Structure 1
Amino acid sequence: MAVAESAGLAPVLGFALVGVLGVGSQWLAWRLRMPAIVLMLLAGLAVGPGLGVLDPSRDFGSLMQPMLAIAVAIILFEGGLTLSLHSLSDAATGVKRLVFLGAPLGWAASSAALHWGAGLSWEASAVFGGIMIVTGPTVIAPLLRQARLKRRPAALLQWEAIVNDPVGALAAVLAFEVVTVLHSAASVSTAVTDMVVGIVGAIVLGVAGGWGLARSFRNALVPEYMKVPVLFVLLLAVFALSDALLHESGLLAVTVMGLWIANADLPSYVELRRFKEHATILLVSGVFILLAANMDRETLASLDWRALVFVLAVVFLARPLPVLVALAFTNVPWRERLLVAFTGPRGVVLVAVAGLFGERLAQLGIPDGDRVAPLAFALVAATVVLHGFTLTPLARLLGQNATATPGVMIVGGSRWAAALGAALKKLELPVVVADPNHAHLRQAREAGLETFWGDILSEAAEHKLDFVTYDKVIAATDNDAYNTLVATDLAPEFGREHVFQLKRVRQASARHALPATLGGGKIGLDETFFESNARLSEGWEFRVTKLSAEFSLEQWRAKNPEAVPFADLGPNGTLRLLGPEDKPKETEGTRLLVFAPKRQERKDDRRDENGNDTMKSA
């Protein structure tokens, strides 16, 4: 370890280590179904102050600060790019109150907690308090999926995180501009002038960059393959020009630029979103590892009892009180208000921006600046772990759990979809059937299933359907091209292994075959829409069979040679949709959903009160 500390890592090796740790932590968190930020924190602290393998200030030298500044600028640009004013206008009153009233109150309460709890100066508290408005959209999403909340509290938490992501960063930038100008200007009038010029200049540059980019894209002045590179270069140019005008105003400029592009209704917006998602995952991972590794043991040791008081004050006062005040006199029930008020995990954006601003504050001569980063780490670690373990029990206590097991979304109304939905409902799983044709949903409505009349890919579906309730999609319309579009579009959100579609007609023909990268997986008999519905006319049906010690999978196969396993639901509530090559689980207590010809009841057969097939013991 002493050799590593004295010699240090080569910059290229250091970059590679940061990338492996960051992306590796995200992947491992996905496999373990836990917040990635916890693993990234542990990884960064392990290779940094723990083992001394990586010291970013030593190994990267003068490149460290520019790298962090550019990475944070892109992260904030991504935050602005997620905020569509159309979506905000369609959001519930509770979301608007959380943004327009809750955010300023949260800023003030967080600053007070920092000043009186952690003992920071008002200057550092005002900057850090603005960042603390951000509740972490990358953290809240997996927590919501894990807790299976009801639609309205989940929507409130999710939209608050998305909207407040750029708002919190913007508040921190504005507060930092005030602190910077006040410390660098010779007089109050000069400070005010510099601040106004810098803020107005940053806004003008951000609007100009966003307007110019949108206009050039809309008028085909940039070829399709160059749109992402042009966006990236323009982002850096706006950041650098604004920063030259007033130090750190570049962060404000790129946030405004992202807001403008998000609301420009660009036809290439999907490609731009894909770029920012990929870039943000890499940058967030890298920034978090760098900041954690850059901590020293003395700084970590400075987290004394005042840091604990600060965290407790945020969790029990600075977060709940602004939320409860903001949601007062609304139609949100008090149980939902309590759940939202006591759920506020902070994420990577807070650490990234706080780490950058903390160093900037220290450079300005504010003695508390170097305490901002460790306090940010303490808050993030505490809230992620706390809410990760308490959100589900709290939601259960307040009666805000939607369902214990995620369900299935069937796209395309038909007799086959209604029959499948009814069988899934028998398994006590949430099911929704969606179709833009109202008449196609008649049989699903008659079966008592939840339906959505509209395009599943529309913004209306995002606002009216609780996507958190479902983790599997079956594209089953009579339009093969639309099924492929739905499966391809929803695969990144649900996971390719959870998206299925009916077999395409004439799939074997080379002229009509689509690339393997498009569409969803095979399901059931891997038949087309018309073949699947024809089987129902021939007397086939969906049935539920429960395996037990007296009725094994082998016995079931012997009694039902033509039946096809369609899904299995394990004793622990894990649902799997099965393809033609998949084998069902043989665990006792597993329930099989099968597609089989109707059969007459035999003397040795009987059905239990829930409609499950059973077999009398010998």
Structure 2
Amino acid sequence: MDMTDPAQMTPITAFALVGVLGVGAQWIAWRLRIPGIVLMLGVGLLVGPVLGIFNPQRDIGPIVAPMISIAVAIILFEGGLTLNYRSLRDAARGVVRLVVIGAPIGWVLSALALHWIAGLSWPSSAVFGGLMIVTGPTVIAPLLRHARLKRRPAAFLQWEAIVNDPVGAMVAVLALQVVLVLEADATRAQAMRDLGIGILAATLLGLLAAKLITWAFSRAKVPEYMKVPVLFVVLLAVFALADFGLHESGLLAVTIMGLWIANAGLASFTELRRFKEHATLLLVSGVFILMGAGMSLETLGRLDWRAGLFILVVILLVRPATVLISLAFGDVPWKERLLVAFTGPRGVVMVAVAGLFGDRLVAQGIEDAVLIAPLSFALVLVTVIVHGFGLTPLARLLGATATGTPGVLIVGGSPWSVAFGEVLQKLELPVLIADTNHGHLRGVRSAGLPHYFGDILSEAAEHNLDFVAYHQVIAITDNDAYNTLVCTDFGHKYGREYVFQPNRVRQESRRHELPATLGGRILRGNMSYYEHNHLVAIGWKFRVTKLTEEFSLADWRQKNPEALPMAAYDGKGGLHVFEEGPELAVPPGNRLVALYPPEPPGQGAGRAVQPPESPQAEQGERH
């Protein structure tokens, strides 16, 4: 390191800066409710080429490229872990069409656009066109979480991104090998043979490693605390071995490995996947910061108006034509086709591989290949911004979102659940009541509430219910241990601040008490399941009151000292269920959902009004 350069930071400082910027950008994006990838790219550009604070090549050194390659391999492997075949269901045919038909069509159309619009030579267009097949799992996953799409279009985009990433890399490798053979006047047969052997070896290596992992894990050959480290080591070894035989074939090997493990039925699969998700979140953050900071203004300055026109054609013509031709004469609804057709953000795999392949082509004397790296970065930047901000409105316009307002999932078909569900339904909030006992759902069915008969934690529920439509869970069954298990499981999916359960029944012996670190938040009132349902049984009712500037929460408390506030609804962001403990703060304009005691005869006028027949809750009384 050159200590005479005051602008250069130590590698340790650089690593810390990448972590802080990446995770910090994601947190700020979550708070502002904007796509995190847009903010991460913007932050990378700001601290890199704009302000010159951070330069990955200068501050970290030559290990930046290998770091990004390994990070991409881990991201693709984790993506493969999410692709359970059962999650495809009715989207299977569409996904196959997008991969088998869409990949070659996308390659050809992209190469034509690169040559005739961007002005690249045919060799550069053929190589870069293969890379443009990919749509970027590092980008799609955050967008899907933000947009809350329905199950099938989400499956289309997720599977296409994961599967097409290694396919696009292999197509680019194929095109590169052909170009290098033509430029070097070597035997084409030998080059094609080497390429085929490399792809076959990567496929077999990924399958062999996956089978070895599933055999060792399922037969307790590896202790529980070592499973994640062993998985990481095997993953890195598979990627390195495959990449050594044929460059970029490691992506294919680790994706196949992840797919196999995801469908192997391992008992410890959930724990493995959760850890991988956490690692992937950090890696995605770091990769986008490095990618933005590593781009120079000089490189971007090589682009002209033809580059802008090229990106416009890719977004408005190439991507839609690829998808619509692939899904033509199929059973996919046209609205879902349009959504997928106009959603094609590119990701870090394209940028990482494009820079490397561009350098190789330049070394072979193809001078215009120097434009591949800036073109790829510009395409990623524009598509991330366009689709990051445009996917949610487009999905709403086409009716492809799971729900307008996120709802509440209630586990347990008790009288309390029915009463609470009816109030939520009158507020036009999505609600679903699930129970494993068919008899417990009798009252739910009589009330006309949506319900699910079965275990909410089962694999069948995972594949048959659209959990995206809900963002809060209330587990209120007569089994405290099951309530705790449900809240613990869904706490990872929705966040622990959005899962609730009644207070656990105190046991005489401590050996029966459950750890306080498990489960969700305790519902307001600090009552057990039996106490909640006892109140409903003796006549307590859920009612809704609208708070205003003239009738505040303090006024409501004074008017209804015995009532128990349970939740508030602001009309747009979903229900806010109250937990036990903190002082309530409900601003004017919210509708307060509370449990009221039975009204004494002749005194009904002194209490808050019943929920009216119309969706709008009646305004509370004024002084």
TM over 0.5: yes
* Equivalent residue, structure 1, for 2:511: 511
Task: Compare 164-173 and 509-518 and name the one that shifted more.
Answer: 509-518
**Correspondence for 1:176:** 172
In structure 2, relative to structure 1, the CA distance for the partners of 1:361 and 1:214 (3 Å cut) is farther
- Does structure 1 conserve the Cα–Cα contact (< 8 Å) formed by 2:45 and 2:292? yes
Q: Which residue of 2 aligns with 1:286?
A: 286
Specify every segment of 5 or more residues in structure 2 that has no aligned partner in the other structure, as ranges.
Answer: none
Q: CA deviation at 1:21?
A: 1.5
* CA deviation after TM superposition for structure 1 residue 90, in Å: 5.8
Q: Could you tell which deviates more after superposition, 597-606 or 72-81?
A: 597-606
Cα 1:508–1:575 shift into 2, 3 Å: farther
Corresponding residue of 1:85: 85
Paired residue secondary structure (2:565): strand
Match of 1:162 among 151, 158, 162: 158
How far did residue 513 of structure 1 move? 3.4
- Could you list the per-position Cα deviations for residues 116-167 of structure 1 after superposition, in whole angstroms to 9, with x for gaps in the alignment? 3333344444454444444445544554565555xxxx22331123212332
Q: How far 1:74 moved relative to its partner?
A: 1.7
State the partner residue of 1:422. 422
- Structure 2 vs 1, CA of residues 53 and 401 (structure 1 numbering), >3 Å: closer, same or farther? closer
Distance across 2 between alignment mates of 1:401 and 1:81 = 24
Instruction: Output aligned runs, 1:105-184, within 5 Å.
Output: 105-137=105-137, 139-140=139-140, 143-144=143-144, 147=147, 154-182=150-178, 183=180
Distance 1:400 1:192, change over 3 A: closer
- Cα deviation 1:184-239 (Å, max 9, x = unaligned): 67211211121122111111211111111211112221111111111111112222
Letter in 1 for 2:452: F
- 1:66 is matched with 66
In the TM superposition, residue 512 of structure 1 has moved relative to its aligned partner by 3.2
- SS of the residue corresponding to residue 69 of structure 1 reads helix
Structure 1 residues 431 and 481, CA, compared in 2 at 3 Å: closer, same or farther? same
Say if 1:409 and 1:473, in contact at 8 Å, map to a contact too.
yes
Quote how far apart the aligned CAs of 1:94 are: 4.1
Does the 8 Å CA contact 1:291/1:355 hold for their aligned counterparts? no
The one-letter code matched in structure 1 to 2:152 is: L
Distance in 2, matches of 1:617 and 1:255, equals 63
CA contact (8 A) 2:110 2:129 kept: yes
Q: Name the amino acid aligned to 1:73.
A: A
In the other structure, the counterpart of 2:203 is 203
Deviation at 1:494, TM superposition (A): 0.8
Is contact 1:550-1:615 (8 Å) kept? Answer: no
Tell me if structure 2 keeps the 8 A contact 1:604–1:615.
no
> Distance between the aligned counterparts of 1:231 and 1:102, measured in 2?
33
Report deviation, 1:50. 1.4
Q: Is the 8 A contact 2:568 2:586 kept in 1?
A: no
Q: What secondary structure is seen at the aligned counterpart in 2 of 1:449? A: coil
Q: Which residues in structure 2 correspond to 1:302-451 (within 5 Å)?
A: 302-355=302-355, 357-358=357-358, 362=362, 366-400=366-400, 403-451=403-451
Question: Offset at 1:430?
Answer: 0.8
Residue 545 (structure 1) aligns with: 545
Structure 1 residues 178 and 3, CA, compared in 2 at 3 Å: closer, same or farther? same
Q: Which moved more, 1:169-178 or 1:6-15?
A: 6-15
**What SS does the corresponding residue of 1:61 show, helix, strand or coil?**
coil
Provide the aligned C-alpha RMSD in A.
2.9
Q: Secondary structure at the match of 2:60?
A: helix
Change (3 A) 1:156 1:357: farther
Equivalent residue, structure 2, for 1:527: 527
Instruction: Give the conservation status (yes or no) of the 8 Å contact 2:94–2:156.
Output: no
Residues 597, 373 of structure 1: CA spacing in aligned structure 2 closer, same or farther, 3 A cutoff?
A: farther
Structure 1 residue 408: Cα displacement:
0.6
**In structure 1, what is the Cα distance between the partners aligned to 2:510 and 2:121?**
69
1:3-82 aligned at under 5 Å gives the runs: 8-82=8-82
Are residues 1:479 and 2:479 paired? yes
Identical-pair percentage: 58
Alpha carbons of 1:21 and 1:73: their partners in 2 closer, same or farther (altered >3 Å)? Answer: same
Letter in 1 for 2:566: F
Q: Is the 8 A contact 1:288 1:348 kept in 2?
A: yes
Write the mapping of 1:580-599 to structure 2, written as runs, cut at 5 A: 580-599=580-599
Q: 1: CA distance between counterparts of 2:283 and 2:18?
A: 10
Q: Is the partner of 1:457 in helix, strand or coil?
A: coil
Structure 2: how far apart are the matches of 1:159 and 1:350?
21
User: How many Å separate the matches in 2 of 1:570 and 1:410?
Assistant: 20
Closer/same/farther in 2, CA of residues 602 and 208 from structure 1, 3 Å limit: closer
Q: How far off its partner does 1:584 sit?
A: 4.1
Q: Name the CA distance, whole Å, in 1 between partners of 2:88 and 2:334.
A: 23
Contact 2:128 2:172 in 1 (8 A): no
Question: In the aligned structure 2, how far is the partner of 1:123 from the partner of 1:110?
Answer: 13
Kindly state the Cα deviation for residue 551 of structure 1 after the two structures are TM-superposed: 3.2
**Conserved? CA contact 1:85–1:263, under 8 Å:** yes
Whether the aligned pair in 2 keeps the contact of 1:144 and 1:468 (CA below 8 Å) is no
Answer with 92-101 or 278-287: which moved more. 92-101
TM-score after normalising by structure 2:
0.90
Report the CA distance shift for 1:481/1:555 in structure 2 as closer, same or farther (over 3 A). Answer: same
SS in 2 for 1:595: strand
Residue identity opposite 1:82 in structure 2: T
Aligned positions, number = 613
Alpha carbons 1:4, 1:52 under 8 Å: kept: no
The answer as to whether partners of 2:130 and 2:172 remain within 8 angstroms in 1 is: no
Deviation at 1:322, TM superposition (A): 2.5
Residues 509/380 of structure 1: CA separation in 2 closer, same or farther (3 Å cut): farther
1:568 is matched with 568
Structure 1 counterpart of 2:375, one-letter code: L
Give per-residue Cα distances to partners, 1:435-468, cap 9 Å, x unaligned: 2333322211221211122222233323322222
Q: How far, CA to CA, are the matches of 1:148 and 1:231 in structure 2?
A: 31
In structure 2, C-alpha distance between the alignment counterparts of 1:258 and 1:586, rounded to whole Å: 46
| Equivalent in the alignment of 1:277 | 277
Q: Secondary structure of 1:526's match? A: coil
The one-letter amino acid paired with 1:163 is W
Stretch moving more, 488-497 or 245-254? 245-254
Aligned counterparts, 1:248-287, within 5 A: 248-287=248-287
Shift in alpha-carbon separation, 1:47–1:392, aligned structure 2, 3 A: closer
- Superimposed CA distance per residue, residues 462-489 of structure 1 (whole angstroms, 9 cap, x where no aligned partner): 3322222211111122222221121111
Whole-Å separation in 2 of the counterparts to 1:241 and 1:402? 42
1:242 counterpart residue number:
242
Q: Do the aligned residues in 2 keep the contact of 1:287 with 1:352 (CA within 8 Å)?
A: no
Q: How far is the alpha carbon of 1:401 from its aligned partner?
A: 5.3
Q: State the Cα distance separating 1:591 from its structure 2 match.
A: 0.7
Structure 1 Cα separation of the partners of residues 546 and 68 of structure 2: 56
Contact 2:414 2:440 in 1 (8 A): yes
Q: Counterpart in 2 of 1:193?
A: 193
Runs of 5+ in structure 1 lacking a partner? none
Distance apart, 1:298 and its partner CA: 1.0
Residues 1:310 and 1:534: Cα distance change in structure 2 (over 3 Å)? same
Q: How has the CA–CA distance of structure 1 residues 292 and 400 changed in structure 2, closer, same or farther, with 3 Å as cutoff?
A: closer
Cα distance 1:109–1:595, how it changes in 2: closer, same or farther (>3 A)? farther
The alignment partner of 2:237 has SS state of helix
**Contact kept? 2:130, 2:175, Cα under 8 Å:** no
- CA contact 1:299–1:374 (8 Å) conserved in 2: yes
Contact 2:127-2:173 at 8 Å conserved across structures? no
Equivalent pair of 1:75/1:349 in contact (CA under 8 Å): no
